A and B are shown apart, each in its own frame.
Chain A
């Protein structure tokens, strides 16, 4: 079974707009990671945030973590058509990685 749940399941925006995806999880975590997957291919790691961090930035990506609410959000600013992909949150707990169901992001040119 999956550990996390992403919200929304699908998101469609115009190029240049911001995209926000949320992730909730059920148990305590060591860290939480976000991955991107282009259609039917392998996942690419985007960013890792540790349980004692609240916010992290990487280029156009901003991730927040609220351990009290067991939730995280991924913000992609100034989106591009190339950002079209599925985005997954994953957390490491008890020595295995659990992935959420993913958010399918479509960025229209």
Chain B
């Protein structure tokens, strides 16, 4: 099976712009999660989607949003970019088997976003 793919891999934007990142999960995986990784804050959970519905959301402002399509592909959008949004954005997919247990997550290579 092909792994999780993320596009683009690198992105440079300026403050105030918006950006859309894309994630294609492993075939058959219905859960997609997004994370932000920075040197200062480490890995932080953004949100999780399952069957086109947002199941969980981390503690991020409303400028961060996402969606999932019927084929499980997911996008995340950041509007009005700030310098502090510069980070590695990681997408992970997981085979969902119920709330009582949570399977391992399979991560993509990430999108490196630089905000100037």
Contacts and interface: CB of A to CB of B under 8 A. Distances in A.
Interface string A88-103: 1010101111111110
Contacts of A18: none
Interface in A45-101: 45, 48, 50, 88, 90, 92, 94-101
A101 B92 CA distance: 18
A101 B102 contact: no
A31 B103 CA distance: 9
Interface string B24-37: 00000000010100
B101 A30 contact: yes
Contacts of A97: 33, 45, 102, 105
A40 B88 contact: yes
Given A43-B107, A97-B33, A30 B90 contact: no
B108 interface: yes
A41 B109 contact: yes
B102 A92 contact: yes
A102 B104 CA distance: 18
27 contacts: A2-B42, A30-B100, A30-B101, A31-B101, A31-B102, A33-B104, A33-B105, A40-B88, A40-B112, A41-B109, A42-B4, A42-B108, A42-B109, A42-B110, A43-B90, A43-B107, A88-B43, A90-B43, A92-B102, A95-B48, A96-B33, A96-B48, A96-B58, A97-B105, A99-B42, A99-B44, A101-B42
